[in-house]
Structure 1
């Protein structure tokens, strides 16, 4: 498994199609779709600062980390996603995705989140937004 530590990635599709990699303490700054079409990734304490970080992705684990407000529409058309101890400050997270596990996740802006998703497991999740009671 390829390992990337404490790196800053910029530009559109910075790590497009990454497969079988581990990212630790990395920042995905400006540039849309940094990990589009990626699979089999372990992300630890990573920060996502811009739009569409994980589209058409599969087999992704995010342990710790943060999605900034501009990381909107973060995880769409993806499957087998596991997020633990994550703060998501961006709207429209998770759409038309399946096999999602969320544990200790805080959605500070959950507008239009989890629309059209299937097989979602949640444990200790806080979501602030329309449609959440």
Structure 2
């Protein structure tokens, strides 16, 4: 590999089309204010570099970034790339990752609105993130030990597994398909509306009106806190280990919980069973629970 180190670049397309290049301790900044420094490159290694200019990595293949910083001035840094590895770096520019495939991110600090749209085959581990519309329309993902704060996260995603994560994010997982979340904490309003095939396995769910209008929804031994008006119009099978504030008109399936402060069954199409402390509420007109054990 050709080694370039301790240099500063500010020209337009400064290293356009380069191949087999190793950049170390370089800075992309300066009065020329040039864009697209490493566009259409192949097999590029970047270490300990700083990026202050726009669009540095577009249409690249075989990109490795380690110990580097993409500042808030580094807008839309990685678009249309494939085979990307990013480690121990700061990704702080808006729209930092889009339309990329085969991406591995680890040990990174992400502060980037609209991060990760339409990404395919993503691995993300041991990262922190702050973002709006995080990973929208992305698919084939596996995330673990990710801490996220934001809004409107994981909307329209497909085929994903999340493990040991903490999410503080409003309107998460809307319209998500075939998604499993394990051993995680999810805090925020209106979780998972309109999802299909969402599974929450040993998770803690915090926030108002979660999991409404869902298809094929599954909860396995989850905890719920401050969760009122849950499961409205949802097809759901759930085992819940903690008291629930209120459940409203589940469309079908069975919900088991130790207690529910309020059960609202005033829609004649709501046919879900709610099993509370070994007693069943199973119709809109039921005024008292019928005796039946919860099948565990």
Which residue among 49, 52, 56 is the counterpart of 2:52? 49
Indicate whether 1:82 and 2:68 are aligned.
no
Q: What TM-score does the superposition give when structure 2 sets the normalisation length? A: 0.44
Q: Report the Cα distance in structure 1 between the residues aligned to 2:129 and 2:92, rounded to whole angstroms.
A: 10
- Give the RMSD, CA atoms, in angstroms: 0.9
Give the match's secondary structure for 1:81: strand
Q: Report the Cα distance in structure 2 between the residues aligned to 1:66 and 1:52, rounded to whole angstroms.
A: 14
* 1:42-98 superposed Cα distances (whole Å, 9 cap, x missing partner): 111111111101000010101101001111111000001100000111110110000
Aligned to 2:105: 102
Alpha-carbon shift at residue 11 of structure 1 (Å): 1.2
Return 5+ residue gaps in structure 2 as ranges. 133-151, 154-166, 168-296
Q: What TM-score does the superposition give when structure 1 sets the normalisation length? A: 0.96
- Name segments (4+ residues, structure 1) moved above 2 Å: none
Tell me how many residue pairs correspond in the alignment: 132
Q: Report the Cα distance in structure 2 between the residues aligned to 1:15 and 1:122, rounded to whole angstroms.
A: 28
Pick 1 or 2: higher relative contact order, CA cutoff 8 A, min separation 6.
1
Return 5+ residue gaps in structure 1 as ranges. none
Bigger-Rg structure (1/2): 2
Q: Report the Cα distance in structure 2 between the residues aligned to 1:18 and 1:10, rounded to whole angstroms.
A: 16
